[in-house]
């Protein structure tokens, strides 16, 4: 196990609702990256938080937002949920924001939008 | 969305044989590549990485080969074991010099190990 935890494990929402997913980073890590993994696909980068600031974003609309707290845990918020938002949401923590820093993934939160 | 390409979606091998999983990438500027293993119900797990100034890197039972001429990456697993059954992803950093650890993942290859 990586020491990265995510909650909840599973979540069911309806279209138009809002959701908050949580991630606790591994001890000593100050960076959290969020990825969306659709069924049968590879993870897609949503954004990264480094020392409580957004540090890079992928091709996701503004209704995907996040936070990082002083203890380096993080939240992913998605507003106005759409059916296509159904996916596994992964967070990964690392000891630094650069690509060369190994990213340790949590088990993910499975979001289903009905 | 953005993705790194893979040649085959599923690879079936006999236990004890060697496995080779391939990956093609399109951006010649990519400077860092990683292989991940994802078991059912788990997040991706780091296997091995390689920088673009290298052609080969070896780990425990795994070897990654990088051919920059044809933009091709492969993961070789020696003496494949049932515990190696999983989906394998290659990922790349397409933004050299970036301060963001944004990884672009391929779609994955499923490795099935037959006993």
Q: What is the mean pLDDT of residues A43-72?
A: 95
The shortest CB-CB distance from B101 to any of A40, A97, A107 is to A97
Q: How far apart are CA B58 and CA A101, in angstroms?
A: 19
pLDDT-derived band at B96, boundaries 50, 70, 90: confident
Kindly tell me if the per-residue pLDDT of A90 is higher than 90: yes
- Sequence-distant (6+) residues with CB within 8 A of B9 are B107, B108, B109, B110
Q: What is the mean pLDDT of residues A82-106?
A: 93
Q: How far apart are CA B36 and CA B108, in angstroms?
A: 9
Tokens at A91, concatenated:
């967070």
Q: How far apart are CA B71 and CA B52, in angstroms?
A: 10
**Is residue B25 less than 8 Å (CB to CB) from chain A?**
no
Q: What is the mean pLDDT of residues A7-32?
A: 96
User: Is there a contact between A59 and B104 if contact means CB atoms under 8 Å apart?
Assistant: no
Contacts of B40 in chain A (CB under 8 A): none
Q: How far apart are CA A86 and CA A11, in angstroms?
A: 10
Q: What is the mean pLDDT of residues A80-99?
A: 94
Q: How far apart are CA B27 and CA B96, in angstroms?
A: 11
Beta pairing, strands B109-114 & B10-14: parallel
DSSP A62: T
Look over chain B and give the mean of its residue pLDDT values, rounded to a whole number: 91
Using an 8 Å Cβ cutoff, are A15 and A81 in contact?
yes
Which residue's entry shows tokens 């236990």?
B15
State pLDDT tens for residues B21-48: 999 998 888 989 999 999 998 999 999 9
Kindly tell me if the per-residue pLDDT of A109 is higher than 60: yes
Using an 8 Å Cβ cutoff, are A86 and A108 in contact?
no
Q: What is the mean pLDDT of residues A93-111?
A: 91
φ/ψ region of B84 (left if φ > 0, alpha if ψ in -120 to 50, else beta) reads alpha
What pLDDT sits at residue B8? 54
φ/ψ region of B8 (left if φ > 0, alpha if ψ in -120 to 50, else beta) reads beta
User: Is there a contact between A56 and B99 if contact means CB atoms under 8 Å apart?
Assistant: yes
State pLDDT tens for residues B35-89: 999 999 899 999 999 999 999 999 999 999 999 999 999 999 999 999 999 999 9
pLDDT-derived band at B1, boundaries 50, 70, 90: very low
């Amino acid at each position: 196990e990586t020491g990265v935890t995510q909650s909840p494990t599973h979540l069911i929402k309806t279209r138009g609702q809002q959701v908050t997913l949580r991630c606790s980073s591994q001890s000593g890590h100050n960076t959290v990256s969020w990825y969306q993994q659709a069924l049968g696909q590879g993870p897609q980068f949503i954004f990264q938080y480094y020392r409580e600031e957004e540090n890079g974003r992928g091709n996701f609309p503004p209704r995907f937002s996040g936070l990082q707290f002083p203890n380096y845990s993080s939240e992913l918020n998605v507003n106005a949920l759409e059916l296509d938002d159904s996916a596994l949401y992964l967070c990964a923590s690392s000891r630094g924001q650069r690509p060369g820093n190994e990213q340790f993934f949590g088990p993910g939160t499975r979001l289903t939008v009905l | 969305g953005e993705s790194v390409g893979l040649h085959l979606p599923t690879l079936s091998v006999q236990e004890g044989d060697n496995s080779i999983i391939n990956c093609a990438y399109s951006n010649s500027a990519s400077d860092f590549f990683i292989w991940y293993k994802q078991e059912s119900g788990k997040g991706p797990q780091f296997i091995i990485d390689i920088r673009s100034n290298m052609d080969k890197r070896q780990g425990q039972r795994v070897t990654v080969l990088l051919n920059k001429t044809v933009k091709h990456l492969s993961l070789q697993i020696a003496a494949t074991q049932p515990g190696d059954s999983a989906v394998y992803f290659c990922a790349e950093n397409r933004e050299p010099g970036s301060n963001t650890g944004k990884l672009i993942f391929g779609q994955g290859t499923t490795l099935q190990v037959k006993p």
